[in-house]
Each structure stands twice: as C-alpha cells, then as structure tokens.
Amino acid sequence: METLVRATALSRRFGRHQALSEVELTLDTGQVLGLLGPNGAGKSTCLRLLAGVLAPSSGRVEILGTDLARQPRLAKRRIGYLPERPPLHPELRVDEYLRFCARLRGIPRERINASLDAAKHRCGLDRAGRQLVGTLSKGYQQRLGIAQAIIHRPRVLILDEPTEGLDPYQIRALRALIRDLAHECGIILSSHILPEVQAVCDRVMILHQGRVRYDGYPAADHNPHLWRIRLGDPEQGERLHALDSLDQVSPLAEARYRVVLKDGASAADLARELVAAGVDLHELHAERSDLERVFFDLTGAEEST
C-alpha cells in the first residue's frame, strides 16, 4: 500500500488561538478517511493545511513523498480540493466553468475537452454542460465542486463537508460517488455528523479543540460480545449472573447493564435465556463502539450511564 499523505506534528495558530495542535495523519491508497468533530474542532483548518491553501505554523505535509511547503506546485498537482464553500461562478455554464478550472490546473489545451468529459461523467453531469451554474440544485452544485476537484485526476481528494446542506437523496448519491472515486484516489473528508462518516469512511479521526482524540477503523473497533441491557425492574438484575450465555455483567444506572457474551454465545441466545428466566426486558442492543463513545462524550450527547 502506498502512502499518499503524511502529516507530521501539524499545528496552526490564528493569533493567540491554537486551531490545530500536533496532528499526525497518514492516508493510504484506496482509503476514505473521515475527519469528524464538532463545530470549531479544527477540521477545515486541517484540510486547508493538507490542501496547501494555508501554511502551517509548524509541522509538515508530504504528498506522495513530496514536501508541500518546499515543492508546492508539484505536490498540489496531486491534490484535488473541495472547500467548504466551493468557488463556483453562477454566471458561467458548467462547461465554461470546468474549462476555466482545467486551464487553472495547467491541463494542456488538447486534453481539456477529454478532461472535461471525464470529470463530468464521473460526477453524473454529462447532460449539464450547457446549464448555468447558478441554476443547478445544491446537490448538482456539489457534484460540480467535486468535478472541478478531480479534473486533473489527482491522487488525493480533499472534501470539506461534502454533504452539508443536501437532502437525503442527494446525500445518498454523493456517498456513492465518493465510494466510487475511492477506487482512483485516496480521500479525506470532514463532517460533524457521526453516521455520515460511518456510512462512507473506512477510517475515522475525531478532532476536538484542534487535537486528535480518536484514530481508528470503525468497523474493526466494534466488539460483537459487548451488549447493553435495560430491565423493567431493577430487582431482577441478580438473575443476569445466572445466565449461561453471559461472561460478565456490569451494572450501570437505572436498571441498565453492560454485559459481555461468552465465546460462542449470540445475542439471540441471550434474548432466549432472558425470556426463559422471566426477566422483564425493556432493551437489548449492541454496545457502542469506541468511536461512538468518544464522539458522544465529546459532543455531550451520551446518555447519563
């Protein structure tokens, strides 16, 4: 696997405000990395540093081994960037706008038409070429923002809140596009919505107050043995200790228990045993992953248990 992006001790201050502190980050080929965090966490700042549109106060970024500060032109050729507010020109037609972007990117004149067609095709804009940018729906404007970011076929695609403001259908379409683009480039995207990054990313970093608080693989950190139970009657909690399917029982507040299944036991076995034991079961659900716990702790949305 090839390392596309490597950020080392990346920090940025604005005056006295430390927006980003000592961030370490790598992105490998085929990966979709999600930067997750509440408003003001430092996501956009981090993405701007990685895209080379903002200089770090300290630390460095390498794009396929090229130092972004020392050889910015070479490094930036490999990067496509969709900022939080895409620089679209409403008075231009889609083709005019993309042609303009292609020229800015230094694509040779004879390759511009082919680059335009390829980017439009990837983003489902084949038939939108003559439409005025200002008349596109928000979802199509976002597709156009991505089309301008991939027009020069970058190896690294950086997307700042790509699904922000879209309706659920547009979000679904954009997620499919992002997954599809991941066959060709590594992708880093930001979001402040947990299910969003869970749906589309295979690796997640949580930023909070400019620092990395979690860096992991959401699919891998879910422990299938860990379950959460809520009983109707707290007096019945003792009966849990006698169940064959359970290895450990940890009481939480308000008749809630965190339980660990024995190897080989399933949640269905546990449910059957609970019913057979005459327990008044109100809830049985998979325990949150580390990712979910860190996120809910940071955003204050975790239940009181």
Ligand X SMILES: Nc1ncnc2c1ncn2[C@@H]1O[C@H](COP(=O)(O)OP(=O)(O)OP(=O)(O)O)[C@@H](O)[C@H]1O
**Contact positions vs ligand X (CB under 6 A):** 14, 17, 19, 37, 39-45, 192
* 214/294 Cα distance (integer angstroms): 7
Give the shortest CB-206-to-ligand X separation in angstroms.
Answer: 11
Q: What's the closest the beta carbon of residue 20 comes to ligand X, in angstroms? A: 7
Task: Give buried/exposed letters for 156-165 (b at 16+ CB in 10 A, else e).
Answer: bbbbbbbbbe
What lies within 8 Å, CB to CB, of 292 at 6+ separation is 194
Query: Is residue 134 classed as helix, strand or coil in its secondary structure?
Result: helix
Q: Looking at beta carbons only, is 14 or 100 nearer to ligand X?
A: 14
Residue closer to ligand X, measured from CB, 115 or 142: 142
Evaluate whether 123 touches 146 at the Cβ level (below 8 Å): yes
Residue with smaller CB distance to ligand X, 45 or 163: 45
Q: Work out how close the CB of 278 gets to ligand X at its nearest, in angstroms, rounded to a whole number.
A: 49
Work out how close the CB of 168 gets to ligand X at its nearest, in angstroms, rounded to a whole number.
20
Query: Closest separation between CB of residue 151 and ligand X, Å?
Result: 25
Among residues 57, 63, 61, which one has the least CA distance to residue 21?
57
Here the tokens at position 118 are 């390829």
Could you tell me the smallest distance in angstroms from the CB atom of residue 14 to ligand X?
Answer: 3
Nearer to ligand X, 165 or 251 (CB): 165
110 vs 288: CA distance, rounded Å: 53
Q: How many other β-carbons are positioned within 10 Å of the β-carbon of residue 87?
A: 11
Distance CA 3, CA 251 (A): 44
Separation between Cα atoms, residue 195 and residue 201, nearest integer Å: 10
Cα–Cα dist 134/144, whole Å: 11
Q: Which residue in this structure is represented by tokens 């993309």?
A: 98
**Closer of 98 and 145 to ligand X (Cβ):** 145
**Cβ–Cβ under 8 Å, residues 237 and 280:** no
For ligand X, the closer CB: 27 or 274? 27
Among all chains, which residue has been given the structure tokens 């596309």?
Answer: 4
**Closest CB to ligand X among 12 and 288?**
12
Query: Least CB distance from residue 43 to ligand X, whole Å?
Result: 4
